[in-house]
Chains A and B, each alone.
Chain A
Amino acid sequence: MTEAIAQSEKSSNVASSTPDTMEWDSRARRMVMIYLPLSCFVLILLFPFYWMAITAFKPNAELLNFKEHNPFWISSPTLAHIKHLLFNTAYPHWLMTTMSVAIGSTFLSLFASTLAAYAIERLRFRGSPYVGLGIYMAYLVPPSILFIPLATVVVQFGLFDSPLALILVYPTFLVPFCTWLLIGYFKSIPYELEECALVDGATRLQILRRITLPLAVPGLISAGIFSFTLSWNEFIYALAFIQSSANKTVPVAILTELVSGDVYQWGALMAGSLLGSLPVAIFYSLFVDYYVSSLTGAVKE
């Protein structure tokens, strides 16, 4: 599209061909208008991560001494903070808890939302758009309103302080999102394929399993990685429902267990943040396109 604009600009240049319009596309202007602000954006957006990473590997002496050491670089990198994290705290355990909660809730919500999206988009019944809209509205209810009553519900169910509570509660914000994403994907699959299968005598469930789902795999991947990321990042429910140190998820544990006393151990804190961000960052780098397409797809819906 941008090429088209550039081309049309060129053609308009040819049409008028005043020096004024010739200048428009010049290199210097492009530099100032595009590359300069763009690099500022990238610099600012990435700086906290750079700072996080560099702090995680700095020895304490360098960390708090800007006069003798250049704070933007490490003269003698150390793994002490990460070692401390892995061997002196329950960090590996927190990672495992977070991982299992994220995977559990992802599968639960994928299962629920695939079926729901199929029913809404493909089984088409009277009022199905309203059910879809209702599920979508659920996405607009923010967790901050729900966490207090949900805490009492979780206690009623005897799930307080159990990761299972998180697995069951996270779908409340995952299911609406995944359902809408999958409805969009199912829409893009030609209905004729299903009609053919129906004519050949396939049952509805066979159609779902053999035809619709295989075709919707990109949508399922998008929904899956999105759910994984969102549940990995979730904070307020995990903070409110989990009490014992062992069952905490990484974001909560770092904030409540590692921040102790008046002297903050910035090295360990940043190492913890770095390690906690790494799984989603790696996941993200593997599936960038799915992220972008699901994010934009969900917005367009």
Chain B
Amino acid sequence: MSVTTALSRGAVQQQPGWLARLFDYKPFLIVICLTPAIGLLLVFLTYPLGLGVWLAFTDTTIGRRGIYVGLENFQYLLTDPLWWNAVFYSVFYTAIATIGKFALGFWLAILLNNHFPFKSLLRAIVLLPWIVPTVLSALAFWWIYDPQFSIISYLLVDVLHIRTTNIDFLGSPWPARFSLIVANIWRGIPFVAISLLAGLQTISPSLYEAAMLDGATAWQRFRYITFPMMLPILAIVMTFSIIFTFTDFQLVYAITRGGPVNSTHLLATLAFQRGIAGGELGEGAAIAVSMIPFLVFATLFSYFGLARRKWQQGESND
């Protein structure tokens, strides 16, 4: 197609000056068009990515250029219980939060796929937690988790009389860990639900009609039509969700800053604490780099594990 257009253009064109002709010269135009985007990405994404890997092998601190120290940073990390703790919590946090988000989000998407009044208004409301700055909603959660004036404790103690003492949400390791996961699920549901809703709307109703003619129950329709048809989109949404949950920073930093006694550090917050706050850029970079294998693994797992159906069905990737 492009060949024919190029020919027809060459035949018609005769008037413009050299500048216009230069901008109409396709290779030149392509380079010009791609320069801003590629330039920005190379300077502020690819270069720092490489630099980060290099920093991880040096002992750079803030204000001092480091020298190459080989694997020393990583060897240190392997003996560091805090790093192991962060690895454990990152994996745990990602696993539980992802399961929660997808179970609830899928349910919400199916609910929203029904026909009822004020549907678009409801859809708009549902997306709200995702739109509002995470740190600010995290602050609201911090206040909800307050040891003395938590509204949840108030409900359980003074209204429902289920408990006699306030819940100490953020004061001890395990409750703090789960409190953060709940906040993360709360924030993640809208994105999952709205994306999956879009997927649900692309499933042809005739499939359900055919299944119903064959006498399929609601569960069977979900299991054998909805779920398989949703797998490709599930794979993509899940890849994104896992990557951004694993590397989450804001929620933890805003609510607990890694406390109590460093039990809720994710790798990202630990990297920040060591790298920026502590000034040990090399070590912080090593922690950040140690996230990469997990990310690659999670991406491959969720993408190929779930998206397999897509190429089995022989769909084009376009």
Contacts and interface: CB of A to CB of B under 8 A. Distances in A.
Is B truly associated with A?
Answer: yes
A119 B33 contact: yes
A148 B281 contact: yes
A146 B108 contact: no
A71 B154 contact: yes
Nearest to A169: B44
A61 interface: no
B132 A281 contact: yes
Nearest to A165: B44
A141 B299 CA distance: 11
A288 B41 CA distance: 29
B33 A152 contact: no
Contacts of A214: none
A235 B134 contact: yes
Interface stretch (A75-83, A85-93, A215-223, A272-280): A272-280
A240 interface: yes
B198 interface: yes
A11 to B, nearest CB: 9
Contacts of A125: 26-27, 30
Nearest to A8: B209
Interface in A29-81: 34-35, 37-38, 41-42, 44-46, 48-49, 51-52, 55, 63-64, 66-67, 71
B36 A115 contact: yes
A5 B205 contact: yes
Given A2-B113, A288-B124, A254 B55 contact: no
A241 to B, nearest CB: 9
A46 B20 CA distance: 55
Interface in A266-301: 266, 269-270, 272-273, 276-277, 280-281, 284-285, 288-289, 291-292, 295-296, 299-300
Interface residues of B, number: 116
Interface in A150-189: 150-153, 168-169, 171-172, 175-176, 179
Interface of A: 1-6, 8-9, 12, 34-35, 37-38, 41-42, 44-46, 48-49, 51-52, 55, 63-64, 66-67, 71, 108-109, 111-113, 115-116, 118-120, 123-125, 131, 135, 138, 140-153, 168-169, 171-172, 175-176, 179, 191, 194-195, 198-201, 203-205, 229, 232-233, 235-236, 239-240, 250-252, 254-255, 266, 269-270, 272-273, 276-277, 280-281, 284-285, 288-289, 291-292, 295-296, 299-300
Contact of B133 (A118, A232, A292): A232
A47 to B, nearest CB: 8
Query: Which among A153, A199, A296 has the highest number of chain B CB atoms within 10 Å?
Result: A296
B40 A168 contact: yes
Interface of B: 1-2, 5, 8-9, 12-13, 15-16, 20, 23-24, 26-27, 29-30, 32-34, 36-38, 40-41, 43-45, 47-49, 51-52, 55, 60, 104, 107-108, 111-116, 120, 122-129, 131-137, 139-141, 143-144, 146, 148-149, 151, 154, 158, 186, 189-191, 194-195, 197-199, 201-203, 205, 208-209, 212-213, 233, 236-237, 239-240, 243-244, 246-250, 253-254, 267-268, 271-272, 275-276, 281, 284-285, 288-289, 291-292, 295, 299
A56 to B, nearest CB: 10
Contact of B52 (A145, A168, A201): A145
B144 A51 contact: yes
8 contacts: A5-B209, A38-B122, A52-B137, A140-B240, A146-B48, A149-B55, A288-B123, A300-B202
A116 B35 CA distance: 8
A115 B31 CA distance: 10
B41 A175 contact: yes
B208 A8 contact: yes
B255 to A, nearest CB: 10
Query: Which among B20, B135, B243 has the highest number of chain A CB atoms within 10 Å?
Result: B135
Given A142-B244, A153-B44, A280 B131 contact: yes
A64 B131 contact: no
Contact of B144 (A48, A119, A169): A48
Given A125-B27, A148-B285, A300-B233, 16 more contacts: A52-B140, A116-B37, A140-B239, A144-B248, A148-B284, A152-B281, A172-B44, A201-B9, A240-B276, A250-B133, A252-B135, A270-B140, A273-B137, A277-B132, A292-B127, A299-B195
Contacts of A153: 43-44, 47-48, 51
